[in-house]
Structure 1
Amino acid sequence: MRYENIYFIGIGGIGMSAIARFCKFKGANVSGYDRTPSALTKALESEGIQVHYNDDPSQIPADIQNTLIVYTPAVPNTLAELSIAREKGYNVIKRSKMLGELTHGETCLAVAGTHGKTTTSTLVAHILTESESGCSAFLGGISKNYGTNMLVSETKTVVAEADEFDRSFLQLHPSIAAITAMDADHLDIYGDLVHVQEAFRQFASQVSETIILKYGLPIRQDEVSARIFTYHYDNAMADFHGTNFRLDDHGHYTYDLVYPAGVLSDIKVGTIGWVNVENSIAAAAICLCYGIDGQKVRHAIGSFEGAVRRLDVHLNRGSLCYIDDYAHHPAELKSAITSVRQVFPGRKITGIFQPHLYTRTRDFAPEFAESLSLLDKLILLDIYPAREEPIEGVTSELIFKDVTCPEKVLLHKDQLMEYLEKEDIDVLMTLGAGDIDRFIGPITELLSKR
């Protein structure tokens, strides 16, 4: 690599850590800062990457000319490490630019969308790896098949999750790309849905060969140079769609994939829920367009174990089930809850939801309430602020007051475990993008003893 040292500010982020791992593999001296320890930072440390947790500019390598600094826009500009690095003249770039540079000159297969992109891109990488075509991959989640968010191959093919936050995906110029959803989100960045959709159209215009577009999304063929194919769970108008669905006792679907070259029969999906059927259709479309044999696509979809925190089953024994999901947008919540509802018809589904960001809570409170009302019982926690300062009048109560499910309760997160000890659980879901994942172990342990 061009730089001897690469220093990451916000190294514990899912996208940042994937790039850090890649740079370490390529021989650079990699180190970095993050605000708090996590399972991901501990994994990086175990791989030989130095991570510290205090805002300490003295930790940055002193050799300015041979050090590249990569940062995530999730860290504030007031962070001392970031501001001093700029003052001293280091080359400081955003994570998105770094990803763009790493994929430049490669055959990039990208997955964009306001939801569904992590599972779909992880499955694309799995199909290519299982088919022995091979790929490198920068993923937005931890693959359960490989235990990492980064794959390395000697091939020229790179799979990338294309993140719309801060318009990051506009640094990519894929050969093939899927767009899974274009919902209003990150309105602190975009302002409104119109500007969200404009950014996705710009991304689509940068795709050189093929776009796999969720059926119904507002991108026209005359707006892009790449050929557009559409996909959908079951709409026969889409170029790629499912039919002849069968659901087994463990929540796994088998279906037939109808696509322009014919029908690929009896695809059994390795992960649960209808939403993962649709994700598998998008991934299959990318790989079939890339030239992967259909039988290899079918086999890999069946052996795919999913991504951590995406309809992630931690316990499933007859009368007791616990599933964790990263859903933090109303559309994601609806997809996750309805998928679990189909798998467990007639069961009582209790959801624990931790809202993520004050701005997102403010902007979508009615929509959150509508999606969460699909539960039988809601346990609603305080807002996880992430990068934001509190906004006056914005609390979880904005959502809670409009939720109409049969039972609901508002809790502080430090009350949660004590509450669950006395709760009769049938099907439990934890939902959210904050630090709710730190309850996965304790909840699994608690329920396993019942």
Structure 2
Amino acid sequence: MTTYHFIGIKGTGMSALAQILHDSGEKVLGSDIEKRFFTQDALEEKNIPIFPFSETNIKDNYTVIAGNAFSDDHIEIKEAKRRGLTFYRYHEFLGEWLKQYTSIAITGAHGKTSTTGLLAHVLNDTFPISYLIGDGTGNGHVDSEYFVFEACEYRRHFLSYEPDYAIMTNIDFDHPDYFTSIDDVFNAFQSMADRVKKGIIACGDDEQLQQIQAKVPVVYYGFADTNDFQAQNVVETDEGTEFDVFVRNTYYNTFTIPMYGDHNVLNALATIAICHYEGIKAEDIKNLSTFQGVKRRFTEKKVGSQILVDDYAHHPKEITATIDSARKKYPDKQVVAIFQPHTFTRTKTFLQEFADSLNLADEVFLCDIFASAREDSGNMTINDLQKLIPDSTTLELSNTDILQEYRDSVLIFMGAGDIQKFQKAYEENIKINK
């Protein structure tokens, strides 16, 4: 029996993949830094051993899978190669593993994780499936029919996959440390489209996606009446959002999702379109209404008269969408944005766009830029962004109590770095002051 050793097992994709292999009956263990990550809980629940990094972790006969964050001179990678072990990078292994199933890749600049979660939730109620979600959730089944997985465009990693289907949510310029322009991003998605074997489900409201050329059928979804799957009569209710779906201009059915905002309706439409294409009954697709959400995507907590929201939004379009969700769900509350930019390159590239999207909130607090280990600041600081947002305030871990002033408000903690430590500090502050 093969033993799989994961180098960097606490990474979101890595921990999800480790869980899938474990659930599929394989022997799994891994290593990482000592710091605790939210992905650890699920690994510990499944009794998957986690060790601190050391070359002594690498044993003969192991198959080694390394996270993309680690370079070839990492001590464990060097040891695995010295021993001549079977060695994969995360995306390489995933590309091999999914060949056993009807695979559905979910990709796009925004909305990947939420759409993967939604689709996995609906299919999981009807079939034995495996799924890998970018929030660190992974689930395997020995008899899986479908493999639903999030496929990331960063460094063109998604070109390691040849899925049966691909859902493409949008094409947008992000990861400016790697992509040179929107055309460069488009070319990556076009290359991905060429690798899909059965069909593509794409958002037809996205101008870039309308240009994709494919050898397989392309089914479009969106709000515009030119789409194959169209949402109409969108209504916000206390339970969430209700909308009618028309398939090629003919009424199909009415669906409810427990979320708010147009971006969530689009994610649901993508799920409805692929399920319809695969012949799944409307009644089964309606399980969308019981979706519990994914980690760090509008994750709410009520504290006193305030709603605290933890969200991964780290691109201007995602910030706009998250603030829109808060406005639609809590139309009578003030919206306070607490934002930590992620990487200097992204902050510099989108400086004005960040300011424009954050200005949609009633109050804005800014945390120091979360730096990637691979980049230089180029003299960029949070003050460069603050200058573009009138009346915004910088927030330190030591002065989070200032947020207590915003009673009966929605406080959105946004970012892809360690913004959660600010929310944690604030919650502890409130406890102490009670």
Q: What is the TM-score of this pair, normalised by structure 1?
A: 0.89
Instruction: Give matches, 1:159-308, under 5 Å.
Output: 159-215=148-204, 216-219=206-209, 223-232=213-222, 234-249=223-238, 252-260=240-248, 262-298=250-286, 300-308=287-295
Cα distance, 1:220 vs. partner?
5.5
Distance change >3 Å, CA 442–CA 268, structure 1 → 2? farther
Preserved CA contact (<8 Å) 1:108 1:157: yes
- Which residue of structure 1 aligns with residue 416 of structure 2? 433
Q: Letter of the aligned partner of 1:114 in structure 2?
A: A
Partner secondary structure for residue 271 of structure 2: helix
Q: Letter of the aligned partner of 1:357 in structure 2?
A: T
Preserved CA contact (<8 Å) 2:236 2:260: no
1:409 lines up with 2:403 in the alignment: no
1:133 lines up with 2:127 in the alignment: yes
Distance change >3 Å, CA 360–CA 83, structure 1 → 2? farther
Preserved CA contact (<8 Å) 1:74 1:387: no
Preserved CA contact (<8 Å) 2:306 2:407: no
- Which residue of structure 2 aligns with residue 397 of structure 1? 383
Instruction: Give matches, 1:9-408, under 5 Å.
Output: 9-35=7-33, 36-53=35-52, 55-60=53-58, 62-63=59-60, 66-130=61-125, 132-141=126-135, 148-152=137-141, 154-215=143-204, 216-219=206-209, 223-232=213-222, 234-249=223-238, 252-260=240-248, 262-298=250-286, 300-315=287-302, 320-404=306-390, 407-408=391-392
Distance, in Å, in 1 between the alignment partners of 2:368 and 2:323 is 20
Q: Letter of the aligned partner of 1:257 in structure 2?
A: V
- Where structure 2 has 5 or more consecutive residues not aligned to the other structure, the ranges are none
Cα distance, 1:439 vs. partner?
4.5
Preserved CA contact (<8 Å) 2:342 2:415: yes
Preserved CA contact (<8 Å) 2:109 2:171: yes
Cα distance, 1:9 vs. partner?
1.4
Preserved CA contact (<8 Å) 2:20 2:138: no
Preserved CA contact (<8 Å) 2:18 2:138: no
Partner secondary structure for residue 100 of structure 2: coil
Partner secondary structure for residue 371 of structure 2: coil
Distance change >3 Å, CA 81–CA 395, structure 1 → 2? farther
Distance, in Å, in 2 between the alignment partners of 1:91 and 1:440 is 42
Cα distance, 1:264 vs. partner?
3.4
Distance, in Å, in 1 between the alignment partners of 2:192 and 2:241 is 32
Deviates most, 97-106 or 24-33: 24-33
Cα distance, 1:380 vs. partner?
0.7
Distance, in Å, in 2 between the alignment partners of 1:173 and 1:416 is 49
Partner secondary structure for residue 170 of structure 1: helix
Q: Letter of the aligned partner of 1:186 in structure 2?
A: H
Preserved CA contact (<8 Å) 1:201 1:219: no
- Which residue of structure 2 aligns with residue 145 of structure 1? none
Q: What is the TM-score of this pair, normalised by structure 2?
A: 0.92
Distance change >3 Å, CA 76–CA 401, structure 1 → 2? farther
Give % identity: 31
Preserved CA contact (<8 Å) 1:177 1:286: no
Q: Letter of the aligned partner of 2:47 in structure 1?
A: G
Distance change >3 Å, CA 446–CA 44, structure 1 → 2? same
Cα distance, 1:310 vs. partner?
0.9
Distance, in Å, in 1 between the alignment partners of 2:376 and 2:333 is 37
Distance, in Å, in 2 between the alignment partners of 1:432 and 1:260 is 38
Distance change >3 Å, CA 89–CA 387, structure 1 → 2? farther
Distance, in Å, in 2 between the alignment partners of 1:134 and 1:261 is 33
Cα deviations across residues 8-49 of structure 1 (Å, max 9, x unaligned)?
A: 111111110111112223343322222222232243134222
Cα deviations across residues 238-273 of structure 1 (Å, max 9, x unaligned)?
A: 2212111221235x1111111238323331112233
Distance, in Å, in 2 between the alignment partners of 1:27 and 1:357 is 39
Distance, in Å, in 1 between the alignment partners of 2:402 and 2:149 is 40
Q: Letter of the aligned partner of 2:284 in structure 1?
A: K
Distance change >3 Å, CA 127–CA 8, structure 1 → 2? same
Cα distance, 1:295 vs. partner?
1.8
Preserved CA contact (<8 Å) 1:314 1:323: yes
- Where structure 1 has 5 or more consecutive residues not aligned to the other structure, the ranges are 143-147
Distance, in Å, in 1 between the alignment partners of 2:212 and 2:172 is 22
Distance change >3 Å, CA 266–CA 42, structure 1 → 2? closer
Distance, in Å, in 2 between the alignment partners of 1:27 and 1:153 is 7
Partner secondary structure for residue 37 of structure 1: coil
Distance, in Å, in 2 between the alignment partners of 1:102 and 1:415 is 46
Partner secondary structure for residue 368 of structure 1: helix
Cα distance, 1:192 vs. partner?
2.1
Cα distance, 1:444 vs. partner?
5.5
Partner secondary structure for residue 156 of structure 2: helix
Distance change >3 Å, CA 82–CA 365, structure 1 → 2? farther
Distance change >3 Å, CA 380–CA 329, structure 1 → 2? same
Partner secondary structure for residue 249 of structure 1: coil
Preserved CA contact (<8 Å) 2:22 2:140: no
Partner secondary structure for residue 225 of structure 1: coil
Preserved CA contact (<8 Å) 2:176 2:346: yes
Q: Letter of the aligned partner of 2:262 in structure 1?
A: W
Count residues with an aligned counterpart.
431
